[in-house]
């Protein structure tokens, strides 16, 4: 089959990506909930194609402070995983996991940041393991890069990476929060056009 372009994505392909995202995100949220000792609810997974110039709108206000964990995906896909937590959610997550009582993210030390990185690792592992199970794609990940900054600054890196080939990106996006509405964040898989083709071809065998 010839290469598709996700600018011409069909409703059937959107449904396939959404279903894959639902399964992968569900497993990732279960792992995160176990780590934090709470139940997490996730929104309906969105499949979006965005211009790079509009990238900062994905997480809301570009000037909002967030904790962003960016993980490069290698192997059969050229992709990125982004776990974005509101600053207050990152603070609460660290306090829950380590039993601390910190008041500001500015108080984070290396251990606190390592805990957030490990959180990103756990999510990435669960998410990509699910994708591997029903696509057969071989996937590996980098060590998470963590930054606590304005959303616009954190998202500038994936924009630069993907701008090499196109002015747009395809997102598979999940928003989640715990049942007490204390923790909330966004989990996004960003893929390029070649990876989109591989995912659709692989999913077509199973979904």
Average pLDDT for runs of 10 along the chain of length 207? 80 92 89 83 85 66 83 89 89 90 92 90 88 87 87 74 69 85 82 88 74
The pLDDT value recorded for residue 56 is 63
The pLDDT value recorded for residue 91 is 92
Q: Which fold has domain 6-203?
A: Chemotaxis protein chec (3.40.1550)
The pLDDT value recorded for residue 112 is 94
75 Ramachandran zone, left/alpha/beta (phi>0; psi -120 to 50): left
């Amino acid at each position: 089959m010839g290469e598709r372009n996700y600018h011409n994505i069909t409703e059937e392909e959107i449904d396939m990506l959404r279903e894959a995202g639902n399964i992968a995100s569900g497993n990732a949220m279960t792992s995160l909930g176990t780590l934090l000792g709470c139940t997490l609810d996730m929104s309906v997974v969105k499949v979006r194609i965005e211009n790079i110039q509009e990238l900062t709108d994905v997480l809301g206000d570009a000037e909002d402070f967030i904790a962003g964990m960016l993980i490069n995906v290698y192997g059969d896909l050229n992709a990125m995983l982004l776990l974005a937590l509101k600053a207050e959610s990152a603070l609460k997550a660290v306090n829950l996991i380590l039993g601390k009582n910190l008041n500001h993210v500015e108080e984070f030390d290396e251990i606190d940041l390592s805990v957030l990185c490990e959180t990103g690792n756990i999510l990435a592992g669960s998410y990509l393991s699910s994708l591997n199970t029903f696509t057969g794609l071989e996937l590996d990940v980098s060590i998470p890069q963590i930054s606590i900054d304005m959303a616009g600054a954190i998202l500038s890196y994936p924009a630069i990476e993907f701008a090499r080939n196109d002015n747009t990106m395809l997102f598979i996006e999940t928003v989640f929060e715990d049942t007490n509405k204390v923790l909330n964040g966004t989990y996004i898989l960003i893929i390029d056009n070649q990876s989109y083709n591989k995912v659709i071809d692989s999913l077509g065998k199973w979904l």
